[in-house]
Structures are given as C-alpha cells and as structure tokens.
Structure 1
Amino acid sequence: MDDKDLYSDHDISIMKNAADSLNRNNDRIQEIIEFAKISNIKIIGIAHCTTFTKQANQLRTFLELAGFTVEQVNCKIGKVPFSDLVPNYKGISCNPAGQAHYLEEKNTELNIMMGLCLGHDLIFNAKSKAPVTPLIVKDRKLNHHSIEKLDSSDS
C-alpha cells in the first residue's frame, strides 16, 4: 500500500493547513489560531480538567479575541458519581465521553484538550467528532512539563 493511500483528502487538507500555519515566531496558541483561520474554522471547543479552569478561561479569551466562537467544558460535566462507573469508588468522576458529546452538540470544528488525565484523554480523543489537538498534558510530578524528564540526563 502506498503511504498516500493512508490519507483522505480531508487529512491532507489538515496537514497542508497546519504546515501553512507554522511560524517560528508563534507560540502554540498562535499556531492553533492561525491553523483555525486558514482552515476556515469558526467554532472551537476546549475540553479541560477542572485544575486548568483558569487557563482554559484565558485561552477562551484569546480565541474569542481572534474572532472564534468558543465552547468550553470541564471534565466534571454531568457530575457522574464515580461509583456509577467503578464500584467502591467515591466522588465525582471525570466524564471525557460527556465532554466529547457536549462539544459535538455545540458543533465544534476543532477541539483543544487541556490537562485531561491519562485514559480520560484517550477516551476524549476517541469520542470527539472534531479533530483534537493537545495544549497541556497533565503531569503531576513535573508540573505539566513532561519534556523535562526527556531533557534530563538522569532519565
């Protein structure tokens, strides 16, 4: 099979628009904004952990100032009791499938994932109808800077 056969026209369009949005002078947020503009995206979703609510609110502001409609949802949507999903667990469970469903109902065209736990991020990515790009990866030990472990000599 030819590698090109692995990609749909939509996939190739995403790759082209991403390449066209790259600029060494832009940070990741600005790259996302440029990509969304080039892709003619109007509605962007933010799926975040409650730990990152302040940062998600700031991202929302940046995106709205850039002209996008923004739909935001935290991981505790629906307030699902953890014991409903896993017996003998307490508290309110994260609900990554609920986050994906909420953003689908809001017709988002691109979703930004911020700090979802391992496993929850996998479920959100699998359930999201819109393409997903990560902005923050949760890493409790390294204060969300996982690259530090890879850059250190004592890995």
Structure 2
Amino acid sequence: MDFKDLYTAEDIAIMKNAEDSLNRNNDRIQEIIEYAKKSNIKTIGIAYCTSLNKQASKLKNILEFEGFTIEHVNCKLGKLPFSNLIPDYKGITCNPAGQAKYLEERDTELNIMMGLCLGHDMIFNAKSKAPVTPLIVKDRKLKHHSIEKLNDSNS
C-alpha cells in the first residue's frame, strides 16, 4: 500500500502548515494561532463544554485580539431534552451534532474543541465540516490533565 494515496491535497496542505507552525517556544494556543495565520484562516469556531465558559471566553478574546473572527457555541445549544434522544433519561443533554451544525452555518474554517465529554467529542469531530483540533480534553478526575495518569509511576 502506498500511504501517500491516503492523503488529499487539502490534507497535505494542513500537514505542511501545521509543520511550519511548530515552535518549541510556543504553547498550544500560539501554535493554533500560527497555523491559522499560515493557512489564511479568518473564522475560527470554538465548541466547548459549559463547565469551561470562562476559559472559552478567554480563548475567544485572545483569538479576536489576533485578528480572527470567532464563533463559539456551548454544549447545551438548543436545550435538547435528553428524553428526546433516549426515553427515560432526564435533564438537558449536550448537543455535539448541533454544535457542529451551528459552526458550519457560520462558515468556520477551523474548529477548536474544549472539554467535550467522551463520545460527544467523537460526534462533534465526525459532524464538523471544518477541521477540528482539541485544546482541552475532559478529564473530571485529573482536572483535564490526562497525561498525569500516564506520567504517574504508580499506575
């Protein structure tokens, strides 16, 4: 199998711009900014969990300061009753497909995912028309620092 055949011209452009954006002195947010600038991206989406409202707002401000148009949407978009999807479940469910659709309708060119629950992140990634990069993965026990489990010599 020729693995090169697995990649479209768009895939290769993403990989090239990402490689050109790498800098050991930059944090992940700065790398995303550099990538978006090299890719001529103007509109960035942020899909986030409501538990990260404060952090999503701060990220929005940082990216807007850098000159990007930001569209952001929390996971409770539409206040979808859980019972509409799964009978006998109560409460308001997260809406990752709705988040992806919301950002698609606003023509985002890159989406940043922040703290979506396991499964919800998979649905958001699958439904997003724009490329998705994670910034924060949800880990309730380790306060979003999953790598700590792998670094712990007692595990």
- TM-score normalized by the length of structure 2: 0.99
4+ residue runs of structure 1 moved beyond 3 angstroms? none
Where in structure 2 are the equivalents of 1:63-102 lying within 5 Å? Answer: 63-102=63-102
**Pairwise CA distance, 1:8:** 0.5
Residue aligning to 1:56: 56
Residue identity in the other structure for 1:27: D
Q: Structure 1, residues 73-96: CA drift from partner, whole Å, max 9, x if none?
A: 000001000111111111100000
CA distance in structure 2 between the partners assigned to 1:67 and 1:143 by the alignment: 30
Residue identity in the other structure for 2:54: K
CA distance in structure 2 between the partners assigned to 1:87 and 1:118 by the alignment: 21
Identity of aligned residues (%): 77
CA distance in structure 1 between the partners assigned to 2:154 and 2:11 by the alignment: 38
Residue aligning to 1:125: 125
Residue aligning to 1:15: 15
Question: Where does the alignment leave 5 or more consecutive residues of structure 1 unmatched?
Answer: none
CA distance in structure 1 between the partners assigned to 2:24 and 2:149 by the alignment: 24
CA distance in structure 2 between the partners assigned to 1:49 and 1:86 by the alignment: 21
Residue aligning to 1:46: 46
Residue identity in the other structure for 2:36: A
Residue identity in the other structure for 1:116: L
**Pairwise CA distance, 1:154:** 1.4
CA distance in structure 1 between the partners assigned to 2:77 and 2:58 by the alignment: 20
**Pairwise CA distance, 1:56:** 0.2
**Pairwise CA distance, 1:32:** 0.1
Residue identity in the other structure for 1:104: E
Residue aligning to 2:32: 32
**Pairwise CA distance, 1:101:** 0.1
CA distance in structure 1 between the partners assigned to 2:154 and 2:94 by the alignment: 34
Q: Secondary structure at the match of 1:78?
A: helix
CA distance in structure 2 between the partners assigned to 1:75 and 1:85 by the alignment: 15
CA distance in structure 2 between the partners assigned to 1:40 and 1:110 by the alignment: 11
Q: Structure 1, residues 90-118: CA drift from partner, whole Å, max 9, x if none?
A: 11000000000000000000000000000
- TM-score normalized by the length of structure 1: 0.99
RMSD between superposed Cα atoms in Å: 0.4
